[in-house]
Homo-oligomer: A and B are copies of this chain.
Amino acid sequence: MLSSHQTKIRVRYRDVDRMGVVYHANYLDYFEWARSDWIRAIWKSYRDLEDSGIFMVVTEASLKFIRPAQFDEELVVTANLTDWGSSRIVFNYIITRQASEVPICTGSTTLCFVNTAGRPMRMPEHLKALIVSE
């Protein structure tokens, strides 16, 4: 089974726009927070990964903005690893309020593993083993 992770996020004042709701581009950040927390939880900090010369670059993203979220709300970002290939992984995301299954934002990102030269590389074996074993 592939991997899943939940991250709680408090909507910050900065994140909210003139309409009083989360500015749409911030949801890509929230997705990234969930990925960072996911890799730290199952393996190690993404910072250590980058420091060892392995980068996960977002190559595609799509989002649906379904309901507005307000300043100071606590959101839950669920990241589900839904697909992977030799040098890429795909996550789907659902953002809801706590104790609610009503979606606020859903989306998907494809990430490619690249080396310090920016060239695609194979997913680290250790990470692949972790994903497959889960």
Counted per complex, copies of this chain come to 4
CB of B61 within 8 A of CB of A62, answer: yes
| Total A residues in contact with B, Cβ cutoff 8 Å | 37
Interface residues of A in 10-64 (CB under 8 A from B): 12-14, 16-20, 23-26, 28-29, 32-33, 36, 40, 45-47, 50, 55, 57-64
A contact patch SS: mixed
What are 20 A-B interface contacts by the 8 Å CB criterion? A13-B23, A14-B17, A14-B25, A14-B32, A17-B17, A17-B18, A19-B55, A19-B57, A24-B28, A24-B61, A25-B25, A25-B28, A25-B32, A45-B72, A47-B70, A59-B65, A60-B64, A61-B61, A61-B62, A62-B63
The residue in chain B whose Cβ has the minimal distance to the Cβ of A25 is B28
In the bound complex, how far is the Cα of B127 from the Cα of A43, in angstroms? Answer: 45
Which residues does chain B contribute within 8 Å of A45, judged by CB atoms?
Answer: 72
